[in-house]
A and B are shown apart, each in its own frame.
Chain A
Amino acid sequence: MFRLLTAYVSCEKDIPLIEDQKENNLPDNKNIRVVPWSHFEVDNGEIAERIAPIRNNGLKSRDTITSNTYGFSIDDSKVQIIENDGYTTYTFFAFRDSVLPNILENYTYKAFDDGSYEQYLLGYHYTLDTDGYKIFDTMVLDIQVIQDNNLILGRTTGCTPKLVDVIEGETCVYNELCTGNSHSYGQQCDCTTAPSTCDPPRTIRCNDTFIWIYEEDLSCGDGAGPGDNSTNNNNSNNNGGGGTGGNTTNNNTDETTDATPMEDPAPEWQEIADCLNDVGILGDNNSTMLDHEVFEALGEILTPDEWRVFKSFLVRQNNCSVEAQQSVIDELLEILEVELMNQLEANPFLLLEIDCLQIENWQTLAQHTAPQSVLDKIENLPSSWANNFEIQPLDEANGTMVNLDYFSVNITTLPNNPDTNSQFTADGLLDYIRRNFNNFVEDTTFDPYCEIPSMCQTETDLWNSNNPLGSIIYIDIPIDEGVVVCTEYTNSYWYFMTMNAPYAGNHPVSGTRQFGYELNLDGSFSFFVRGVDRFDSNTVENGSYLIDWIFGDEEISNAFDGSDELWESFQSKINQFVDINDGDSTIIEATKNRPDWDKVQQVLMGELPISELGCND
């Protein structure tokens, strides 16, 4: 026995795609898409037109198309599309006023590439398991050829298709736009991967499924009906009723059709949500008491049977009364709370927002220490009466939270060097940025340390050399003067560590920042700045919080707001430079995580694995 299509299973993948990859490059042999009617209508105008005249003839409030002959209706809010060589099937969930027990019905429109078509009503037999999930019977498939002129013009045939095989495999559904009922088609959304409420646009969900394969009984003839005047080498549509599918030449060679159940697009909780939100509570008819996203989250927790209990209590027994609504809301919220508590108990870092793609890079920076040659140099530098040169390690800072950031620019075409007018290499561009760093930041200057005159020339020469390891840089941030030292240098990146220095004092933050580039899989380059740092002083951190709270525009106070602006200016300056010099670049949205240091310290310092933060090792 098996469970099929109950919920998307653990093998799900959320694979961001770029525009031109969609549909045809799905990582599976079965290309299944589930799209809303509005999208189907745009892409399949001819088919939609055939169906459109009889839309809204359906039952009650559902978007339905009714077949009078067969007594079923089609929910056209979602259309399942399966593409195969030679034909495409468009499948709708079908339903009736009187429910057929344990049969899930689908209406399938099979459109051949040559313009002919066939229609079927498929019946999948199932039983319910103890939780109310459907378990499909793979031995049976009811197949009825549609010849209903009121639905669309079908064909007549003497042959009844037969189930020939059921195969097991992985099918992937491509979501062109945000899924989830709380997001209307075309709407962007911030949903994340499961167990969230929906899938973001341009993602693929894969799941193990069964595919029923059926074909016409070829022994009973060629399947052509009365009035057929076509050359039909397959079981293609033709009819005597003058339908658009008639009078065609069908050279299809594929005799079989693939099908997989299209379940009711309306989730189990829909009726409960409608009751709570449409009727309202406590006399307020316009109020939305529970957002759809809450229901979608609950959908991951509650089984179909549990939803049916709520539905029965609320709708059937209490006719959506105010008291019943309140009772259901209380119960649902309590379930959510308990679930959250359980998950937090299992994973205390659940609510921490950490970018798993960057965590290992941040770990490297957090654990970075200056090489002995740099430490030796610092040791021998002159000092003032107030300060010595001294590196400020991340773990000796006093800030409550740790800043983990990553600002990058994707460069698809490297720019030309404005001095030579020849195209930069990636190494060359990074070197150019380093030597002209002040042209790539706003309101702040980075210059070799000259506060002690005897050091000025040495530091200037070192910074402008091909290997600036150990170079000391004075950052003139108004009020926030700070000094950093280059503690690692390669052609593709360098590190700055913050330090205490004479005539500059403590750098406001302690930590390490990396500047560099990475080669992407598609051949483009990401020029980036990545940092791990903490406020050196907790008092200053709190003062910055307070100022940001009073003067900031955003609801959540951010003590690193100024730092974000600085590195965003770095992004935009690189972007401008590249574009002006015949290159091509795009600013990538910055990644900024600011968890409590105490919570992530052990992971960042390598004492605990990153799986502790919910990331895969």
Chain B
Amino acid sequence: MKSNNGKRLSFLFYSLSFLSLVISCLPKRYVMSVYTPSILGYIFLILLLVVIILFIYLFIRDIKINRYKQILERIIVIILGILIYHMVRNYWL
């Protein structure tokens, strides 16, 4: 049961991370109004917060049960995501 929960949370983490990455690659005008974030901007901020919380939760959980491979996978995914984000923003947008 715990393992299933872990897989679901892990799946959720990857899904939300992907979604955050997609939104973060959009031009600023889609996420920012004149003064405040747009609805999509607020969604992005919430997604980002959830992804960070999920990452920390899963990290602590996997440390406890010595699942280092999963931790490494998530770190690699995050690093890749950051790299893609930078490439898109620096060379595409």
Point out residues on A near B: beta carbons under 8 Å: 443-444, 477-480, 508-509, 535, 540, 543-544, 546-548, 550-553, 559-563, 565-566
Q: With contacts A543-B45, A546-B45, A547-B44 known, is A478 near B32, CB below 8 A?
A: no
Quick check: B35 and A480 within 8 Å, CB to CB?
A: yes
Quick check: B45 and A562 within 8 Å, CB to CB?
A: no
Quick check: B37 and A544 within 8 Å, CB to CB?
A: yes
Q: With contacts A547-B44, A550-B24, A551-B24 known, is A477 near B31, CB below 8 A?
A: no
Closest residue of chain A to B38 (Cβ to Cβ) is A479
Which residues from 1 to 60 on chain B have a C-beta closer than 8 Å to any C-beta of chain A? Answer: 24, 26-28, 31-39, 41-42, 44-45
18 more A-B residue pairs beyond the given contacts A551-B27, A561-B28, with a C-beta to C-beta distance below 8 A: A477-B33, A478-B33, A479-B37, A479-B39, A480-B36, A508-B34, A508-B35, A540-B35, A543-B36, A543-B37, A544-B32, A544-B35, A547-B31, A547-B45, A551-B24, A560-B35, A562-B32, A562-B34
In whole angstroms, how far apart are the Cα atoms of A565 and B35 in the complex? 10
Quick check: A477 and B37 within 8 Å, CB to CB?
A: no
In whole angstroms, how far apart are the Cα atoms of A543 and B31 in the complex? 11
Say which size band chain B's interface belongs to.
10 to 19
Quick check: B33 and A480 within 8 Å, CB to CB?
A: yes
In whole angstroms, how far apart are the Cα atoms of A508 and B38 in the complex? 12
10 CB-based A-B contacts, threshold 8 Å: A478-B33, A543-B45, A547-B28, A547-B31, A550-B24, A551-B24, A553-B28, A561-B28, A562-B32, A563-B35
Quick check: A480 and B34 within 8 Å, CB to CB?
A: yes
Point out residues on B near A: beta carbons under 8 Å: 24, 26-28, 31-39, 41-42, 44-45
Give, as a whole number of angstroms, the nearest-CB distance from A551 to chain B.
Answer: 4
Quick check: A561 and B32 within 8 Å, CB to CB?
A: yes
- Residue from B24, B26, B38, B45 within 8 A of A478 (CB atoms): B38
Most chain A C-beta atoms within 10 Å of own C-beta, residue among B27, B32, B39, B45: B32
Q: With contacts A479-B39, A543-B45, A546-B45 known, is A551 near B34, CB below 8 A?
A: no
In whole angstroms, how far apart are the Cα atoms of A478 and B38 in the complex? 8
Quick check: A477 and B45 within 8 Å, CB to CB?
A: no
Give, as a whole number of angstroms, the nearest-CB distance from A242 to chain B.
Answer: 66
In whole angstroms, how far apart are the Cα atoms of A147 and B1 in the complex? 105
- Residue from A444, A508, A550, A565 within 8 A of B36 (CB atoms): A508
In whole angstroms, how far apart are the Cα atoms of A550 and B47 in the complex? 14
Chain B contacts for A550, CB-based, 8 A:
24
Give, as a whole number of angstroms, the nearest-CB distance from B89 to chain A.
Answer: 8
Chain A contacts for B32, CB-based, 8 A:
544, 547-548, 551, 561-562
Quick check: B33 and A479 within 8 Å, CB to CB?
A: yes
Q: With contacts A543-B45, A546-B45 known, is A551 near B31, CB below 8 A?
A: yes
- Residue from B26, B28, B36, B38 within 8 A of A540 (CB atoms): B36
In whole angstroms, how far apart are the Cα atoms of A443 and B42 in the complex? 20
